Structure 1
């Protein structure tokens, strides 16, 4: 099983079925907080929906297509961060993340995303890591910016969020630029 220590407070672990109840509880109690930026909340209405997500995540990990991890802070799962997809031909990966509303503002995600980026370049030998966030999602964009990712552009109407399209700000980091 994949486990990656971030620091003395945080580690990342491959999501597994034992996490389903906790992840669903986090999703459910943060639904309004997350719904503004994440398109999958209407499809996550039960623990079984979360179990399906975990099963698909593990299958994708086994095929080397993604790596979705539970963010564990002080021995409690508080969110998810990982590589939504890998493009091995081009040695790149795309990072995504979300955090329970009760754990924001503690630096958990920036430390987790920094660790994932470092892992991508040192262990996976990727050349490029990308983060996309809705243009108006200032907090998510701040993670990329604080880590030194470069804004590379904007993709217009990149994602459908329930009743409207949002533009995506695209951030990139190259292995040679990373100071990890």
Structure 2
């Protein structure tokens, strides 16, 4: 089992079928909260739906076109994050994430997105990382903004969310920008 330790309390591990029960439980506990911005809650109504998602994730990992992980905080499953897609032709990864409602406000997702971005550049040698979020989803948008991602624009009606379309803001970070930013932060310490 691959585990990437971020700090003493936080780590990422590759998603596995044995995670289905705890991920489904977390989904149920945060269902109404997550439903505001995630389009898959109404089709994830039983543990088998979560198992299918995990199987799809494992296939993406095996085919080297995605990389989904479980977020572990103080040893507990608290969310899912990873590269929803890796485009090797363009050397770009697209980060997606969600966190259980009770774990919001601890800086978890910012640290997770930072670790994934660093991994994309230092280990996968990609050129760009993108994060997309609904224009009105201020919590999700704050993650790339805190990390210094560039707001590259808005895609109108980018996603159907149950009964309406939402616009997405695209945030991007280039490998060269990340290196300069990290060196600057190191110099301040």
CA distance in 1, matches of 2:129, 2:105: 24
CA distance in 1, matches of 2:68, 2:176: 25
1:25 is paired with a residue of what secondary structure?
Answer: helix
TM-score by length of 1: 0.98
Aligned residue for 2:23? 23
Higher helix share: 2
Task: Report deviation, 1:49.
Answer: 0.6
Counterparts of residues 132-143 of structure 1 (less than 5 Å):
132-143=132-143
Aligned residue for 2:172? 172
Task: Report deviation, 1:106.
Answer: 0.4
CA distance in 2, matches of 1:57, 1:93: 15
CA distance in 1, matches of 2:13, 2:112: 11
Aligned residue for 1:5? 5
CA distance in 2, matches of 1:142, 1:115: 16
Aligned residue for 1:51? 51
CA distance in 1, matches of 2:8, 2:173: 26
Structure 2 unmatched ranges of 5 or more: 183-189
Counterparts of residues 11-160 of structure 1 (less than 5 Å):
11-160=11-160
Q: How many residues align?
A: 180
Q: Any runs of at least 4 consecutive aligned residues in structure 1 with deviations exceeding 2 A, and if so which?
A: none
Task: Report deviation, 1:18.
Answer: 1.0
Task: Report deviation, 1:6.
Answer: 0.9
Task: Report deviation, 1:132.
Answer: 0.1
1:24 is paired with a residue of what secondary structure?
Answer: helix
CA distance in 1, matches of 2:151, 2:4: 27
TM-score by length of 2: 0.94
Task: Report deviation, 1:2.
Answer: 2.8
1:98 is paired with a residue of what secondary structure?
Answer: strand
